[in-house]
């Protein structure tokens, strides 16, 4: 594990958010900022941030959004604009609390969407020098809704509730319903954040599993076609929704190469 620089909670918009910082301090090196998926939290990255920090020489900031892990519960129901709210209002305050001035955003699924929106709008004083978007969503599609409906059945009749309780504790209900209920609302079918993409000028690396049951390669194509800066893409065979766990070694090497190149 990389050296823990600092850990605990900071308060944003009246919510206490758990975080840990590892590796070099923000004053000494750029910071990798890890943004978790819609059912994820800081702990679910496991040791991947530590390993990527060591491989790049960067520091890392890992935190749980409200409603996840050991952060405070979120206010439900989530609005249709919850990605925008996290990217434009919450994340700038998180970066300010942590003292991050130069960041590479490492986002997975919902976290990748948040990373892309933040990079486009560039709110706050932190310079985003690159984005790694793993399994990103920029519009809704039926493959995603079908997977969510399967997850709902697993929550009701399978072991998904128990799995999430191990990571989120008392936040398990909030994490699951804040995600599944929002995406299934009729008005969310038209959800789309592609209008942000042309404003992204920093380098972007998009990673997608060929067998991702939450999104198709149309997501990758849309991002690569519309961002204004350089964009690298990787579609992995024999891989589902979580490349950084399913193919941890190769993904670590590939991300590290991208980060070192842009810095």
In contact, 6 and 20? CB cutoff 8 Å? yes
Give pLDDT, residue 123.
86
Alpha carbon dihedral 4, 168, 9, 29, in 10-degree steps, equals 40
**pTM, entire model:** 0.97
Average of pLDDT values for 23-28? Answer: 95
| Element holding 17 (H helix, E strand) | strand 15-22
Q: What is the CATH number of the domain that holds 226?
A: 3.40.50.1820
In contact, 38 and 44? CB cutoff 8 Å? no
Total number of domains in the chain: 1
Give pLDDT, residue 4.
72
pLDDT for residue 3 is more than 80 = no
Domain of 30 in residue numbering reads as 4-262
pLDDT in tens, 152-207: 999 999 999 999 999 999 999 999 999 999 999 999 999 999 999 999 999 999 99
Give pLDDT, residue 243.
98
Give pLDDT, residue 207.
98
pLDDT band at 2 (very low <50, low <70, confident <90, very high): low
Q: Is 97 exposed, middle or buried (0-12, 13-18, 19+ CB in 10 A)?
A: middle
In contact, 30 and 59? CB cutoff 8 Å? yes
pLDDT in tens, 204-263: 999 999 999 999 999 999 999 999 999 999 999 999 999 999 999 999 999 999 999 999
CA atoms within 13 A on the CB side of 254: 21
Average pLDDT, the chain: 96
pLDDT in tens, 74-128: 999 999 999 999 999 999 999 999 999 999 999 999 999 999 999 999 888 899 9
Give pLDDT, residue 183.
97
In contact, 216 and 143? CB cutoff 8 Å? yes
In contact, 225 and 24? CB cutoff 8 Å? no
Question: By percentage, how much of the chain surpasses pLDDT 90?
Answer: 96
Give pLDDT, residue 251.
98
Outline where DSSP puts E strands in 100-254: 102-108, 127-134, 204-209, 231-236
Listed residue (156, 241, 144, 154) closest to 184, CA to CA: 144
Task: Specify the pairing of strand 15-22 against strand 59-63.
Answer: antiparallel
CA atoms within 13 A on the CB side of 170: 6
In contact, 110 and 134? CB cutoff 8 Å? no
Give pLDDT, residue 218.
97
Burial 218-240 (b: 16+ CB within 10 A, else e): ebbebbeebbeeebeebebeebb
pLDDT for residue 1 is more than 60 = no
Residue 27: CB atoms within 10 Å? 9
Task: Specify the pairing of strand 15-22 against strand 4-12.
Answer: antiparallel
């Amino acid at each position: 594990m990389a050296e823990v620089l600092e850990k605990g909670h900071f308060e944003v918009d009246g919510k206490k958010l758990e975080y840990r910082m590892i590796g070099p301090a923000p004053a000494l090196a750029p910071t990798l900022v890890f943004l978790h998926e819609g059912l994820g939290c800081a702990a679910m990255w496991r040791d991947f941030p530590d390993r990527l920090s060591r491989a790049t020489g960067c520091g890392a900031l890992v935190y749980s959004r409200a409603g996840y892990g050991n952060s405070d519960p979120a206010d439900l129901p989530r609005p249709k604009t919850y990605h925008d709210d996290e990217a434009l209002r919450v994340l700038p305050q998180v970066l300010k609390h942590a003292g991050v001035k130069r960041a590479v955003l490492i986002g997975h699924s919902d976290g990748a969407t948040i990373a892309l929106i933040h990079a486009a709008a560039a709110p706050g004083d932190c310079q985003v020098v690159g984005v790694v978007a793993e399994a990103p969503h920029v519009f809704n599609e039926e493959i995603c809704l079908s997977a969510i409906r399967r997850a709902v059945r697993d929550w009701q009749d399978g072991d998904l509730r128990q799995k999430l309780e191990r990571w989120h504790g008392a936040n398990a209900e909030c994490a699951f319903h804040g995600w599944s209920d929002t995406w299934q609302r009729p008005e969310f079918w038209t959800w789309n954040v592609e209008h942000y993409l042309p404003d992204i000028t920093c380098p972007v690396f998009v990673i997608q599993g060929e067998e991702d049951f939450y999104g198709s390669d149309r997501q990758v194509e849309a991002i690569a076609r519309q961002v204004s800066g350089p964009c690298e893409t990787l579609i992995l065979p024999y891989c589902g929704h979580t490349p950084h766990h399913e193919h941890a070694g190769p993904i670590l090497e590939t991300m590290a190469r991208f980060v070192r190149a842009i810095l």
